[in-house]
Amino acid sequence: MLKKYFLSVFLVFFVFFQSINFSFWEEQNSYKDYTLNMWDFFVMYFDLFSQNVDDNYKKIELKMSWVEKWGSLYGALQKWVFLWKIKNVKWYVDFSKKVKEEQLYAIIKNAYKLEIPYKKWKELTFSKVTDSIKVINSKIENENKINLILNSQKPEIEWTNNFFILNDVYYKLKNYHYNSANFSENELIDWAIKWMTEATKDKYTTYFPPVDSKSFQDSLKEDYEWIGAYVDMEKPWLFKIVSPIAWSPAEEAWLKWWDIVLQIDDLLVTEKVTLDQAVAKIKWLAWTQVKLKIQRWDQAFDISVTRKLITMKFVDYKQLDNWDFYIKLRIFWAWINKAFEWAITNLKSNTGFNWKIIIDLRNNPGWQLDEVAAMLDKFVPKWKSTVNIKYKDQQEEDINSNWSDLYDFSNKKIVVLVNKWSASASEIMAWTMRDYLWNNIKIIWETTYWKWSVQNLDLYSDTSSFKYTIAKWFTGKTKTGIDWIWIKPDTEVKLDEEKVKTWIDNQLDYAKNLSF
């Protein structure tokens, strides 16, 4: 017991001091071949791959009663709940279960984009962890050298000719404005940041103050309280329903994907209202009502919708009545690749793998590039590029396939359903599959959204966040970008609005009957 406790404490120690000299520990044979169980692994995982956050995380009371309060694992889990990486729910892990090398490999690949050699099914040893840390240290050290060079060339804001004007305006508004009691310092700073982001003329570059930041990140979680619809603001004041979610209050109230929202309760949607403000107005507690003034074609009318707790299934799958596999991907959020593998495994085990596969990307807004790249491993030959990313100053990165014969789609007939709300990662998936599976794939319905940029999301200690564009993506094989090109379908099938009212999906019916 003491030996296990000592090892766990040491794991916490070395992940925070990664520059430690491991030669001493390698000489200790008693620890070198020690195999890690789930308790050891959890300590290593959460402390190594979490980050420093605001001390407010300590206020979170975990519902995981099996975790010893105020221990190292408890603190790490508090951080991850604070950052919305995991849910604060009652769940349990078998601590005695041994960890395999591939589990460490998967984490390092996801966090550091590193390929660490490993042996499948082999138990993870202490020496394997220390060896992996050395490789990570080497990568971080090289990146730090590059960052030092880049930062030495980066102009600071104080160097600009009119920075003193910004500082002077702030000072005079704060100290001399007649109505200075009506606005706070934080409001002045927030508006300065917002105007800077708007100066980029990039709708995907956005600053979220704390309240808006929570609302934005809540929209990406599996469950949240509101009406259950994808929305977008194509231009100022044009706030549109992209698609109601199946069985949601929005769908039950007969909201349609072409509806324009003119007013939300007492909030008129004008050019001054942002997408995030409009969404925040719609969100509220479950079982409360929101009244929307809707414009549908040339008519305007009110619809009242009762909010509910919406639980999203990012992956839905079934075998259709004609034996085809049907897989619906709603958003490329964390762990969707694992859910996709689970869906394929279940379909194969129940029915075999002899019919065509229909992958539904309609209304999928994209999101995580890493997740779609991992999913494309199933369709792209090993070591071939799934996506090419171009950063500022022409720096490039190829994400290559780590193909596994467990999911061999090379000789399967595949139909992909897209629409004009299929964006970003959805477009990457559709186009890359077309690149590599040209004779075995059909893309159905209309041209896609056209979003080929890649964003970072940074979180700040006050819980505000900043989303900004860092790169453009291109397909891995043909290096095709979709700047003003869009992904064009092989066959265009218009959605039959009358059939939709009776729960008939004529686009899916067309895909089912398609043979090639």
Axis-axis angle for helices 38-49, 101-112 (nearest 10)? 10
- pLDDT for 70: 63
Check residues 288 and 368 and name the one with the higher pLDDT: 288
Q: What is the mean pLDDT of the chain?
A: 76
Instruction: Look up residue 503 and give its two tokens.
Output: 């729960």
Helix (H, G, I), strand (E, B) or coil at 272: coil
Helix, strand and coil in the chain, % to nearest 5: 40, 20, 40
Helix or strand or coil: residue 441? strand
Residue 159 or residue 286, greater confidence:
286
Q: What is the pLDDT of residue 85?
A: 60
- The Cα-based distances of 380 to 114, 128, 171, 432, 477 in angstroms read 19, 30, 57, 8, 10
Q: Please state, in angstroms and rounded to a whole number, the distance separating the CA atoms of residues 174 and 166.
A: 12
Cβ–Cβ < 8 Å for 107, 115: no
Give the mean pLDDT of 266-288: 86
Which pTM does this prediction carry? 0.59
pLDDT > 70: what percent of the chain?
75
**Chain segment 198-233, per-residue pLDDT in tens:** 888 888 888 888 777 776 776 666 667 789 888 888
Residue 281 scores a pLDDT above 90: no
Q: What is the mean pLDDT of residues 68-78?
A: 72
pLDDT in tens, 435-446: 888 888 888 877
Residue 269: per-residue pLDDT: 93
Q: How far apart are CA 359 and CA 175, in angstroms?
A: 59
Give the number of residues written for the chain: 516
| pLDDT score recorded for residue 168 | 83
pLDDT at 145: 55
Mean pLDDT of 397-426: 80
Residue 17: which pLDDT band, with cuts at 50, 70 and 90? very low
6-10, 325-329, 460-464, 470-474: range with lowest mean pLDDT:
6-10
pLDDT of residue 341: 86
pLDDT, average across residues 346-357: 72
Whole-angstrom Cα distance, residue 291 to residue 264? 6
Helix, strand, or coil (residue 39): helix
pLDDT at residue number 31: 55
54-65 confidence digits (pLDDT tens):
666 777 777 777
Mean pLDDT of all residues in 103-108? 74
pLDDT, residue 220, reads 65
Residue 374: predicted pLDDT: 87
Report pLDDT for 19.
38
- pLDDT confidence tier of residue 301, bands split at 50, 70 and 90: very high
Q: Which of 259, 487, 242 is nearest to 363 (CA)?
A: 242
Average pLDDT over residues 265-283: 86
Which range among 89-93, 172-176, 303-307, 384-388 has the greatest average pLDDT?
A: 303-307
Question: Looking at residue 206, what is its pLDDT?
Answer: 87
Q: What is the pLDDT of residue 28?
A: 44
Residue 10: the pLDDT is 40
Mean pLDDT of the 364-376 span: 85
| Model pLDDT, residue 329 | 92
pLDDT in tens, 128-183: 777 777 777 666 666 655 555 445 555 555 555 667 788 888 888 988 899 988 88
The mean pLDDT of 296-304, rounded to a whole number, is 91
Residue 263 has pLDDT above 90, yes or no: yes
Beta strands in 145-226 (DSSP E): 206-208, 223-226
Q: At 242, is the pLDDT very low, low, confident or very high (cuts 50, 70, 90)?
A: confident
Give the span between the Cα atoms of 441 and 490, in whole angstroms: 9
Whole-angstrom Cα distance, residue 339 to residue 333?
10
Q: Which domains does the chain have, with CATH numbers?
A: 2-147 (no CATH), 158-199 (no CATH), 223-311 (2.30.42.10), 315-513 (3.90.226.10)
Report how far residue 18's alpha carbon sits from residue 9's, in angstroms, rounded to the nearest whole number: 14
Average pLDDT score over residue span 355-374? 86
